[in-house]
Structure 1
Amino acid sequence: MSNYTFNYHIYPKSGFLNDPNGLAQFKGKYHVFYQWLEEVTPQGAKCWGHYVSTDLVHWKDQGIALHPDSWYDKNGVYSGSAIVHEDTLYLFYTGNVRNSRGERESYQCLATSEDGENFKKHGPVIEVPKGYTAHFRDPKVWKDKENNYWWMVIGAQTQELKGNVVLYGSYNLEDWEYKGNILPEQMNWGYMCECPDLIELQGNNYLLVSKQEKIKINEEEIDQSIAVYLPGEFSQEIPSYAPLSDGIRLDEGFDYYAPQTFLDDKGRRLLIAWMGGGEIDYQLSQPTVNEGWLHGLTIPRELVVFDKTLYQKPVDELALLRANKKDFMINNEEKHLNFTSKSIELLVENRDCSNLKIKLFHTVIFTYDSVSKSITIKRQNWLTNQYDSNSFYIETDLETCRIFIDCSSVEIFINHGEKVLTMRAYFEEENNKVYFGSNKSLKISSWDLVKEES
């Protein structure tokens, strides 16, 4: 294993990983599927890889669940979702096809499993309706239990090259009725809405969507892809979704995209996202490419609501990894702590709402200004050695900062998940110091995160 190999995250032992798919709990196991390519390249005939776990911490690689071996998915088994119905696991996915003229075709397809290990394909259940391009993908299915009815949202691009989310309904999971676009067409949803996920949580509706759009930076037009959530109202009768905003970022870091959620048997709404994204050149420049693998998935997170705002909280099961707890206090001083491992958890409690600065092995710098309530995150770029940077504001004083480090990744949860920052970070092997600075009082707890082989 290299210094960059993850300890407790899902990642490909080789090849290219991207979107999480088919998240479900079935017959006592958590199932996570993901898009995978054998070679480290973002383009090709993608498969669905498959991991299972009984505790959301210890994951077993199950190999490939779905191969692009049928006429309706011959150029790629693209993203989708899973539901459990009548003791059967249903997988919905997009079949990607290039026809004889090289044109894209897409089909929303169904596969099922009775044991969570063997999968039977049933072919397309939805073809692209009139009014849309072949960028029509990522079906997410859920059940309206009151009416015994199934809903599906699909990410779409209209023939006017505008993004939207399309709704379908079904009584039997095989015959689907087209309901139309649900987002207001007068608003800007970029040129494509990927990976939609419409959820209800504590009586509130939220639409998660990964939006692709063109933006200008220094007069140069570039593609931007960000994951956002839209609080709003879902009307089944019209049907439509009335958003209360044009999108709140789900993550303020540098590597987060294509989140998907599911309900487990504890009633928790759990989320996993792709710890990747960005321009292709940026992705392929990462050091693990030289080791034959690229990207991973985030740690599982529980979605909770405070004052209608979505918070992302690391699942409680991650505490199973904790070992060697240490506690420290800092009072109006600077302190360097040495760590022999780069698989650790840090909890910083900012008792007096003071200014705060944290340096993680010289590679990631976190700064909080208590006057403006602004946070700046900097991550040393592995190509330029300069720091990529992002700044944002929080609504209340900084009280807690929880940090998960896993050899070449950092996930930071601010104020119990009010804001989250996810990123890849490539640390120098010989740098073992974490720096803390504050002009008031800090309590710091640390744990080594150790995964016992099962």
Structure 2
Amino acid sequence: MKEWTREERYRVLQGADDIRGLYESIKESDYRQTYHVQPITGLSSDPNGFVYHKGIWHLFYQWCPWGAVHGLKYWYHSVSKDLVHWENRGVGIYPDSFYDNKGVHSGSGFSTGDDLYLFYTGNHRDEDWVRTPYTCVAKLEDSGELVKAPQPLFGPHENYTEHQRDPKVVYDEDTQQYYILLGAQSKDLKGKVLIYRSDSLLEGWTFAGELQVPGFEDLGGMWECPSIERISGKDVLVFSPQYTTLPNRNQSTNHNIYLLGKMDYKNLTFTAEGNYRHLDYGFDFYAAQFAANDGDPDRAVLTAWMGLPDNHYPTEAEDWEGSLTLPRELRLVNNRLLQRPVPALASLRKEAVVLDEELPRVCELEISNQQGQDFELKLFSKKDGSGGFCISYDGQAKLCTVDRSQMDQHFNAELGECLTVPLEDELTKLAVYIDKSSVEIFINDGQATFTSHLYPTKQEAYYSASSHLDLQAWLLKPAVTDDFVV
């Protein structure tokens, strides 16, 4: 693993020629995704500014161009008309002002009329490397240029640590005010969401207080990337608690959870109905963000970073790492949040194929009519049947398990290589989406999901399945351009 100096990590990108050679090397990687958004070079992390505006889905993400390392962050911009076919637009926001001199960190988008605004955390550091986070805004012009406001909306609150970031902007019809939800850490090292309010989107922001979430005051030491959406009349609060372990998550201390309940903006309280649930039970899922301005009151659209803070992956040796998950459609059914790939993903299906022994590197698998029976499905095993990524189900206990410990390439093994989720219902259906370096699993039409990076070797090209499984397979067309746009 390469050791990076601070100067290397925070080097300023002067132009496309700085990384053109790196891109030419990276694009030949065996692990470049075909229908997932990914960086042209370097590292991608949190999705940012996810919003529908004037017929286009805009999706930005945290990008460090130099390699698989966290350093000087930019917002990289991708666009789509259907949430499936994505095009690179290049850097959206540069860290080129006093207030974001060491990075434009995460935030959200807000569409109002003909105008699209992007709210982000400006990461400022002084000569002694002391951090000051600012909440900033930029406007996306019709020309595609992003124009920053000359001053931040507000700076950090003195009663909290330097960890104040990831603004999520919402408008509440009841109070007829705008609100910013900000992930934060109290000085006694507990996770918080701070709330600012204003009558105007671009000025007059004042600190309203902490969001009260009764029953969850001690959940983690930092709450990153808060996001909130109303689905079928019920509020869904999403955030990423850090610095704590949780049940069914092995040794990981970075999580992504949600609460169902009622948001009261007047009294700054979220009243949860029941316990938290994990958005995803896999190894590599974090910093999920709802898309703004979807327009459908009975669904929300969400994507996440396919990765975790501090994790390392095999493509680090190739100077790139990361991708975003498939955009997911979330709906409430019988008071449960179901996640499915957006319907347009079905347009990527080519012909149905009958699997022999070899497993295509890019495909969709579906198991139906399972009837709650025990089963085992091994992906990317070797010709002799050994190894592989194993998905298994214990029908009596209603436990679904994913195990990547038998793959040749191990990564982040210290956090655990086997994860199990208890299901409320019998497992009757399983959908699996495989790309060049990932697998996403949807159980029972999205009652639970697993997301994981995988890096199969050339010898890991086969599969096996319990004989009773009704398994269908489709090859998938590419949907994400890998064009060099800076």
Same structural fold, with TM-score higher than 0.5 when normalized by the shorter chain: yes
Helix, strand or coil for the counterpart of 1:20?
strand
Number of the residue aligned with 2:61: 34
Could you tell me how far apart the structure 2 residues matched to 1:447 and 1:216 are? Answer: 36
In structure 2, which of residues 416, 419, 427 is the aligned counterpart of residue 398 of structure 1?
Answer: 427
- Deviation digits for residues 234-268 of structure 1, max 9, x if unmatched? 11221211234452111111000000002424554
Matches within 5 A, 1:140-289: 140-174=168-202, 175-184=204-213, 187-215=217-245, 224-245=253-274, 247-262=276-291, 263-266=293-296, 268-278=299-309, 280=310, 282-283=311-312, 286-289=313-316
1:355 and 2:374 are equivalent in the alignment: yes
**Residues 403 and 452 of structure 1, relative CA distance in 2, 3 Å threshold:** closer
Q: 2:90 aligns with which of 56, 63, 80?
A: 63
Asked if structure 1 preserves the Cα contact closer than 8 Å seen for 2:68 and 2:320, the reply is: no
Which moves more between the two structures, 47-56 or 441-450? Answer: 441-450
**CA positional deviation for 1:150:** 1.6
SS at match of 1:72: helix
Q: Is the 8 A contact 2:377 2:465 kept in 1?
A: yes
CA contact (8 A) 1:46 1:68 kept: yes
Which deviates more, 86-95 or 344-353? 344-353
CA contact (8 A) 1:215 1:222 kept: yes
1:184 CA drift (Å): 4.1
What's 1:332 paired with?
none
Q: Give CA-to-partner distance per residue, 1:65-100, whole Å, 9 cap, x none.
A: 111110000011000000101211110000011123
> Mapping of 1:293-308 within 5 angstroms?
293-308=320-335
Q: Deviation at 1:204?
A: 1.2
Question: CA offsets per residue over residues 260-289 of structure 1, 9 Å max, x none?
Answer: 0024245541000000115x3x41xx2212
Q: Is the 8 A contact 2:175 2:266 kept in 1?
A: no
Rounded Cα–Cα distance in structure 1 between residues aligned with 2:214 and 2:156: 19
Q: Which amino acid aligns with 2:348?
A: L
- Match among 462, 472, 486 for residue 433 of structure 1: 462
- Measure, in 2, the Cα distance between the counterparts of 1:431 and 1:16: 26
Alignment RMSD: 2.3
Paired with 2:156 and 2:334, the residues of 1 have a C-alpha distance of 38
What per-residue deviation string (whole Å, max 9, x for no partner) do you get for residues 368-392 of structure 1?
0110001111014523798810112
Does residue 366 of structure 1 match 2:386?
A: no
Relative to structure 1, is the Cα distance of residues 452 and 180 closer, same or farther in structure 2, using a 3 angstrom cutoff? closer
The ranges of structure 1 where at least 4 consecutive aligned residues each deviate by more than 3 angstroms after the TM superposition are 145-148, 214-217, 265-268, 383-387
State the match for 1:331 in structure 2: none
Q: Does 1:338 align with 2:369?
A: no
Match of 1:112 in 2: 139
CA-CA distance at 1:453 after TM superposition: 8.1
Whole-angstrom CA distance in 2 between matches of 1:46 and 1:59: 21
Is 2:175 the counterpart of 1:130?
A: no
Supply the AA of the counterpart residue of 1:276: G
TM-score by length of 1: 0.91
Q: Secondary structure at the match of 1:361?
A: strand
Partner amino acid for 1:344? Answer: C
Query: Contact 1:301–1:315 at 8 Å: present in 2 too?
Result: yes
Q: Displacement of 1:38 after TM fit? A: 1.2
SS of aligned partner of 1:125:
coil
- Structure 1 residue 351 displacement after superposition: 3.6
Is the contact made by 1:350 and 1:398 (CA closer than 8 Å) also made in structure 2? no
Question: CA–CA distance in 2 between the matches of 1:3 and 1:161?
Answer: 42
Structure 1: how far apart are the matches of 2:114 and 2:266?
30
**Separation in 1 of the partners of 2:195 and 2:121?**
15
Tell me the distance in 1 between the aligned counterparts of 2:480 and 2:130.
47
Q: Which whole-Å CA distance do the structure 2 matches of 1:153 and 1:388 have between them?
A: 34
Structure 1 letter corresponding to 2:42: G
**Is the partner of 1:127 in helix, strand or coil?**
coil
Unaligned runs of 5+ in 2: 1-27, 382-387, 482-486
Identical columns (%)? 35
Q: Any conservation in 1 of the 2:371–2:427 contact (CA below 8 Å)?
A: no
